[in-house]
Structure 1
């Protein structure tokens, strides 16, 4: 009798790549939720969903465009998308994406190294090398391995987030309701919406990593399903994280790691802290893998198709891992990471507006 195995739908595996790229140390620690959403008080009830809704539309169009035009590395995608202005905008996007990829992956090494150090007591430098080795091996075997790794890691992260954030959200529910009912906020709705847009814009820049795994999508319906699945996963969990942190607004805004504060003042204690540490490590690995693989697809697109293709992938992966590890090792992160906000601003005219313009134009043509 033939053995039957469980197979994850291809659209869901692509959606998991989105989630595991989005989920990094900033997400797991609650810092991103605090900075971009909870800082604006009760508006954080709905702004995370709006941010993920914008990204879902962007990524749906990106995957749909990849399926139609067979563009599975970000440079060929941007050349086709921005044509006939591709010489300008493709280069601009490439600069932005490489900066984002470099900083995000370097931060992954730094965050993961520090987390392992605080958890196990092992030295920071060997910890970062350990993470670099894992990222390297997960990126040299192609999109299928990246999607599979993203799927398994994504499931583990979702379970952990639901346990830690979900339980504490239930326990602190009266505090959350109090903040919402009192409409407590130190800013106005326009500030909250602008912060939401910047967050969505910065996340949208990662589209280069997502088109790299879109070759498994066979139809435009698959692209739509991937976008819907990603919207639900990212929207629900980001909102859950924001609501949990919101219970301690505004005092929690000054806490470096809001999630640790939440579990120490709610439920979970040492066990929850260990779960959070594990989630951070899983998150930084998945973020690094997805970004590095997006860069790898760009590099190997320069070479002609031949029997050395796998060697090219190994070389490209090694190049990106060493480069981003070096940024983390030699302390360039504080300097470069100041550009995060700037990248969010750039993403609005370079990516968000053009995608919405094309979607509206396509709607009126149909």
Structure 2
């Protein structure tokens, strides 16, 4: 079993943390994602996030289980094996979905980080995004062990910070929340709110390629199950807490570009918590970009490189691929945050539901997983860069 980058932490925690830190990206960190998919539809925001994350937990459990059983840790090799005998169609479709979500989610990360740092620190937006791009690039090129280690440390810091920020503000805003709930705002009803949570699950499931890239650390089905359960508790718990606080300012907060800053300025925290939330958003956007860009660069390397080239050549090509992804997503970030979240994520969600969510749940539930197999040499070489135990 490969050793976990954080010796005091079980391997399945590191995978759960990669899920959490990828999920906690630009849209989630700013609170904008919560508004778009949950809070603007009223009090259902207190439980519809749980539905979305429960769907994701099932999808990831079945996908990770297949990945470990068949030793497929690069998402194209995973899709080719999983979608047999229709891999020519579905593998190419997922290529489109993953690269679309990679570009949009990483661009949102740049936009959120740049806008938040500019708002709180007063530093130029362009400079902020350039610093974020450099850090993302450096972390990405060092491989799966660094990605898992970074995600694990960031997760510990982010979870602690989020619990403090949203926990303290929930105490302050509880009267506001009770007023909102008593007025029972639900502008479009339960079924529309439920559909938005399903769309959110589709959006997050589109990130599967990034998660498959780091599951080589899991040993068996029990590890996979623990990773899925831990990831569900982390993601669903934080989302419900955050949604409750954001909902306290309904409907004023709907138009805010960075709702979490609005909450601190109108609730508890002051300058100290503004600086803390800036740090958390900075860490969140870094972790999302690194996790996704690493998964995407592995895909490029699998097509571009040949097994006989050797590890050094493959690493050099991954560096180039990472640089290309960083540049493209940084450029797209100039579109701004709200349009990227509201429009870009919706298209990704619509595509991911029939291409990822439905097939994975169907094959997982019906146990139509196909024959076990071994990864090819290049897949093994790009799975991880650290020592194996």
Q: TM-score, normalised by structure 1?
A: 0.92
- Residue by residue over 1:17-56, the C-alpha shift from the partner in whole angstroms, topping out at 9 and shown as x without a partner, is 1111111222122111122111121111111111110001
Q: Is the alpha carbon distance of 1:122 and 1:333 closer, same or farther for their aligned partners in structure 2, counting shifts above 3 Å?
A: closer
How far did 1:160 drift?
A: 1.1
The answer on whether the counterparts of 1:66 and 1:211 sit within 8 Å (CA) in structure 2 is yes
Q: Distance in 2 between matches of 1:6 and 1:84?
A: 40
The answer on whether the counterparts of 1:103 and 1:333 sit within 8 Å (CA) in structure 2 is no
1:168 aligns with 2:169: yes
- Residue by residue over 1:262-305, the C-alpha shift from the partner in whole angstroms, topping out at 9 and shown as x without a partner, is 22222112222211211111111111001100111112222223
How far did 1:347 drift?
A: 1.2
Partner of 1:129: 130
The answer on whether the counterparts of 2:110 and 2:132 sit within 8 Å (CA) in structure 1 is yes
How far did 1:210 drift?
A: 0.3
Q: Distance in 1 between matches of 2:292 and 2:186?
A: 35
Q: Could you say what secondary structure the match of 2:367 adopts?
A: helix
How far did 1:360 drift?
A: 2.3
Partner of 1:247: 248
Q: Distance in 2 between matches of 1:354 and 1:223?
A: 19
Q: Which has the larger displacement, 105-114 or 272-281?
A: 105-114
Q: Distance in 1 between matches of 2:228 and 2:299?
A: 23
- Residue by residue over 1:107-153, the C-alpha shift from the partner in whole angstroms, topping out at 9 and shown as x without a partner, is 22232223233333333333222111111111111101000000111
Q: Could you say what secondary structure the match of 1:172 adopts?
A: helix
How far did 1:333 drift?
A: 8.0
Partner of 1:202: 203
1:288 aligns with 2:293: no
Q: Distance in 2 between matches of 1:182 and 1:80?
A: 51
Q: Distance in 1 between matches of 2:129 and 2:362?
A: 42
How far did 1:75 drift?
A: 0.7
Partner of 1:73: 74
Q: Which has the larger displacement, 180-189 or 49-58?
A: 180-189
The answer on whether the counterparts of 1:59 and 1:227 sit within 8 Å (CA) in structure 2 is yes
- Residue by residue over 1:226-248, the C-alpha shift from the partner in whole angstroms, topping out at 9 and shown as x without a partner, is 10010000000011110011112
Q: Is the alpha carbon distance of 1:65 and 1:91 closer, same or farther for their aligned partners in structure 2, counting shifts above 3 Å?
A: same
How far did 1:170 drift?
A: 1.8
The answer on whether the counterparts of 2:173 and 2:248 sit within 8 Å (CA) in structure 1 is yes
Q: Distance in 1 between matches of 2:152 and 2:170?
A: 25
Partner of 1:85: 86
Q: Distance in 2 between matches of 1:179 and 1:128?
A: 37
The answer on whether the counterparts of 2:79 and 2:91 sit within 8 Å (CA) in structure 1 is yes
Partner of 1:63: 64
Please show how residues 1-366 of structure 1 align to structure 2 within 5 Å: 6-302=7-303, 303-305=305-307, 306-307=310-311, 308-328=313-333, 331=335, 338-362=343-367
How far did 1:355 drift?
A: 1.4
How far did 1:177 drift?
A: 3.4
Q: Distance in 2 between matches of 1:41 and 1:120?
A: 32
Q: Distance in 2 between matches of 1:129 and 1:237?
A: 29
Q: Which has the larger displacement, 145-154 or 262-271?
A: 262-271
CA RMSD, aligned part only?
2.1
- Residue by residue over 1:44-78, the C-alpha shift from the partner in whole angstroms, topping out at 9 and shown as x without a partner, is 11111111100011111111110011111111111
Q: Distance in 2 between matches of 1:276 and 1:332?
A: 20
The answer on whether the counterparts of 2:26 and 2:111 sit within 8 Å (CA) in structure 1 is no
Q: Distance in 2 between matches of 1:267 and 1:335?
A: 29
Q: Distance in 2 between matches of 1:27 and 1:65?
A: 28
Q: TM-score, normalised by structure 2?
A: 0.87
Q: Distance in 2 between matches of 1:263 and 1:118?
A: 13
Contiguous gaps of at least 5 residues in structure 1:
none
